[in-house]
């Protein structure tokens, strides 16, 4: 199977799907009300925005955003030389702490986004990036098995 950053594309696809599913659960049953309150919208407004964009277009855009992040996390893990689970988790954690969290904070500092929304978004990205790192470790680690190997 073709590779990207010495990792199977299967891992990237799996990481993308897992991160996307986490977002559906995170912003759905777990935090939908709190997140919409932080955004200052109602369910009706959210539905209208989705209808305006179109479900297929939204789904493609959301998947591409998720895929981009999955590739970015893998690139950072690769550049860090991480292969085993602890090193992959460490690289993803520091990516969130040093890049993701400060970028998200701009909306709070300059745009008036509530701290509650920031924490919901940051929690999603932290857990999502750590999950992706764990998936990559399974494919990059010393005992990783190539697809097709017995």
Per-residue pLDDT tens listing for the chain (150 residues): 789 998 999 999 999 999 999 999 999 999 999 999 999 999 999 899 989 999 999 999 999 999 999 999 999 999 999 999 999 999 999 999 999 999 999 999 999 999 999 999 999 999 999 999 999 999 987 655 444 443
Alpha-carbon distances of 110 from 37, 47, 105, rounded to whole Å: 19, 27, 8
Beta strands at 3-4 and 7-8: parallel, antiparallel or unpaired: antiparallel
Helix (H, G, I), strand (E, B) or coil at 145: coil
Q: CA neighbours within 13 Å on the CB side: how many for 55?
A: 1
């Amino acid at each position: 199977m073709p590779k990207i950053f010495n990792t199977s594309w299967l891992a990237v696809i799996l990481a993308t799907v897992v991160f996307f599913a986490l977002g559906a659960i995170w912003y759905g049953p777990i935090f939908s009300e709190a997140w919409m309150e932080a955004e200052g919208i109602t369910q009706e407004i959210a539905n209208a925005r989705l209808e305006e964009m179109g479900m297929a277009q939204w789904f493609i855009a959301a998947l591409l955003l998720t895929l981009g992040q999955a590739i970015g996390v893998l690139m950072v893990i690769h550049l860090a030389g991480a292969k085993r689970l602890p090193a992959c988790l460490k690289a993803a954690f520091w990516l969130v702490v040093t890049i993701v969290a400060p970028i998200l904070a701009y909306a709070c500092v300059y745009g008036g986004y509530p701290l509650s929304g920031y924490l919901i978004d940051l929690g999603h990205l932290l857990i999502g990036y750590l999950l992706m790192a764990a998936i990559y470790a399974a494919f990059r680690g010393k005992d990783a098995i190539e697809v097709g190997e017995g």
